C-alpha cells in the first residue's frame, strides 16, 4: 500500500482521483476503512495529513448497459 500526503484543499474524492484516477464508491469505502482517523478532519483535509491509499483496479468495472432491444 502506498502513502501520500494531502495538499491544502484536498478532499478524499480529489485525492483519490489525483492518485488513483478514480473516485467511485468502492475506492472511497476502501480508503475510509484504511484511514478511519480521517473522520476527525473536516471535509477539506489540511495540508500534510498522511493517507494510506487502497490497492484497487485502475478503472472501475462498469456494468453492461441494458438495451430495450435485447
Question: What is the span of the domain harbouring residue 27?
Answer: 2-53
In a domain, 8, yes or no: yes
| 14 pLDDT more than 90 | yes
| 60 pLDDT more than 60 | no
In a domain, 63, yes or no: no
Whole-structure pTM value: 0.74
In a domain, 70, yes or no: no
| 2 pLDDT more than 60 | yes
Rounded CA-CA distance 52/67 in Å is: 40
Q: What's the structural domain count of the chain?
A: 1
In a domain, 59, yes or no: no
DSSP conformation letters of 48-60 = T-EEEEP---SSP
pLDDT value at residue 32: 94
pLDDT value at residue 43: 87
pLDDT digits (tens, 9 = 90+) for 15-33: 999 999 888 898 899 999 9
Amino acid at each position: 500500500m502506498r502513502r501520500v500526503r494531502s495538499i491544502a484543499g484536498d478532499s478524499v474524492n480529489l485525492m483519490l482521483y489525483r492518485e488513483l484516477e478514480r473516485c467511485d464508491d468502492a475506492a472511497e469505502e476502501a480508503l475510509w476503512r484504511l484511514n478511519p482517523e480521517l473522520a476527525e478532519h473536516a471535509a477539506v483535509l489540511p495540508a500534510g495529513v498522511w493517507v494510506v491509499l487502497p490497492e484497487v483496479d485502475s478503472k472501475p468495472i462498469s456494468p453492461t448497459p441494458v438495451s430495450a432491444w435485447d
